[in-house]
Structure 1
């Protein structure tokens, strides 16, 4: 049974966080509005790939869909590097999110649980990495090495502690484990020491090459939206005469999980994808685990099935899904309709209805952080100097 509601008691939420393994699952909605939502592009690309059509028509249809995805999601990462106004707004949202979680971890009363939070995300953008670096937060993104950085799922789970130079005190540092389930625009597959590995592409060179190749053919490709049908693209692509090899080759070099049912272009990415899903599954099966889902439509079959299975076998697991609005809440509930959860440990939270003045609330990442998590750890106020001089005591 999936529960739906619009409220969550702050005291209950505080107790849940204090004593649970803390996890977040962030979807495309968490990075809105800078990054576009995928819409129905997954089904579109799946239909194109499975179509009984000639290779040229399929290449034309795929290039059109890829160009739509590239413009709305991949290319927008350049805004983050250039720090445009819209990018700064998104980075500020993620910084507030990270700062709030950092204070929550610092105030954990349990000495048994590590001061860590796992952030699983299907997003391929680099907003979290930039926000964490701006804050100098301890982010573990799975990479090790400075000159030849390489990714490995074995790098997750490390505990970071710091020792005071003066008093030799040892304290654990809050750590954010970032697990990018669908890869990243900053990933690049390379051959090192005879093995295919995922390296860190800090300058997004592969994205730049794909953008350059797309520019040559973009004006000749049709616009794609939620109403575009695979049959229409395939028909338009018959005998198109365009040279799409350069763009398709550059696009397929990107180390991202493509928005299709089969998803993969590269074996090394396939292997890491399932390793990351295994880590997600393992975390969900731990006792007293808490998963907050933000901006995720629950349409990804692999992840949804893992959530449902874990909810069934682990009654101590609590999954709280924040729906953007009531329509999104109904769509998410429909995704679980044929997969009943007997423990009742999946809850969908949707915004309350319109206020008396007609204003409405949407559960985006900024609103969720401010409404649910900020009140749990109010910022400390400065103690007035006269109170200190008088020997008084205050608490924040």
Structure 2
């Protein structure tokens, strides 16, 4: 199913990017310089939900996992917006990535394909929004409105152009469509009933992160009642921990408020929750439809392909669209076989899913890792033509025309 070649040359990439519909899928690994990755949280929560342990033990275990995710990802967006020094490096990586792709779009020779790029992400943090704001790029995140921006998938796909004041020339502006498949920490939901006939729930953008502050305060009151969660934590260890003496009502209150966040939590039932919410369903539909366009390319960065629902969408699109090319960037050499193993058993005949990863370092050499910064510098920066080099020295040549010494004859 997959190509055995784990390298990608710049010449190959240049030909692909010039004439293809550009799509990126950015996962938690791309933000791991500042935010923690989920790891195997999905299976951990599934084991807890399917356990025969008492309700109090399961509630405490689930709250402990959500609290860990809250502290390592959600609440850190407060420091991200506030330009905390610890967030500087991840913002630099995303700024470099967006700036480079913007330059690639500006210099594409094709006049048929719009200067747009779709950035799909399962991350709920605000790193892309903050970086695009810093660069003053055209970022379409699905919201429209000034005082109360409302989200709608119908806002995607708009083509923006700028007309020059002097010569009245019209040129298309590169646009980034940001589609957050699992929601965002900056979203809130609000009931809206404009006509009084049928109420609906709107998604609004709330940059003050008020609900995060509220949850942070609630968590501070129960932090001593919850259990530590680390990479080696098992569902059994959480469920068999000695029960808390009291505070069950406060733990349940935290869970209820946490579940008000318009994000898709990493559970096995998340796809069912997604389908029930029209906005999330529409985002997945857009993702699937864009992969079915002729001459499309999808680059996966920081995405481990553990998500079975998105993995199935990738396989289906690759099988039905032979012109689609999918490149999955593996973080380290060992990640190559792990990713390929997750696609084992899927049937497709086009061979258009390819894992690209760093070569195994020789003994005594540092091992290269394909993080967002490295991928940008190694693969996408060389696609942008460099400005011509200024001469090191200038030689002045003076040409003088004088009368010939010997008169010529006509």
User: TM-score if structure 1 supplies the norm length?
Assistant: 0.93
Shift of 1:228: 2.1
- Which residue of 314, 324, 334 maps to 2:341? 334
State yes or no: 1:308 paired with 2:303.
Answer: no
Q: How far is 1:203 from its partner?
A: 1.1
Instruction: State how far apart, in whole Å, the 2-side matches of 1:224 and 1:189 are.
Output: 29
- Name stretches of at least 5 consecutive residues in structure 2 with no aligned partner: 194-198, 398-410
Report SS of the residue matched to 2:203: strand
Number of the residue aligned with 1:86:
86
Matches within 5 A, 1:230-269: 230-236=235-241, 238=243, 240-242=245-247, 243-263=250-270
Once the two structures are TM-superposed, the CA of residue 72 in structure 1 deviates from its matched residue by 1.5
Match of 1:343 among 347, 350, 357: 350
Identify the residue that residue 404 of structure 2 maps to in structure 1: none
Question: What is the DSSP-based 3-state SS (H/G/I as helix, E as strand, rest coil) of the residue aligned with 1:214?
Answer: helix
Residue aligning to 1:113: 113
- Equivalent residues of 2:274, 2:280 under 8 A apart: no
Q: Normalization by structure 2: what TM-score?
A: 0.90
One of 292, 299, 302 as aligned partner of 1:295: 302
Matched-pair contact (CA < 8 Å) for 1:257–1:269: no
1:182 aligned partner: 182
1:225 has 2:203 as partner = no
CA offsets per residue over residues 263-284 of structure 1, 9 Å max, x none?
2797897322211110000001
Q: How far apart are the structure 2 equivalents of 1:346 and 1:264?
A: 23
- Report the secondary structure of 1:351's partner residue: coil
Equivalent position to 1:367, from 367, 374, 380 = 374
What is the deviation of 1:250?
2.3
Distance in 2 (CA, whole Å) between partners of 1:240 and 1:331 is 43
Larger radius of gyration: 2
In the TM superposition, residue 386 of structure 1 has moved relative to its aligned partner by 8.2
1:160-196 per-position Cα deviation (integer Å, ceiling 9, x unaligned): 1111122111110000000000000001011123320
Let me know the Cα RMSD of the aligned residues: 2.2
Return 377-386 or 233-242, whichever deviates more: 377-386
Stretch moving more, 67-76 or 354-363: 354-363
Matched with 1:277 is 284
Cα distance change on mapping 1:28 and 1:56 into 2, 3 Å: same
- Asked whether the 8 Å contact 1:183–1:269 carries over to 2, the reply is no
**Alpha-carbon separation, structure 1, partners of 2:242 and 2:271:** 23
Q: Determine if the alignment matches structure 1 residue 207 to structure 2 residue 207.
A: no
Partner of 2:65: 65
For this pair of structures, how many residues does the alignment match? 390
Cα gap change, 1:190 to 1:167, in 2 (>3 Å): same
What's 2:165 paired with? 165
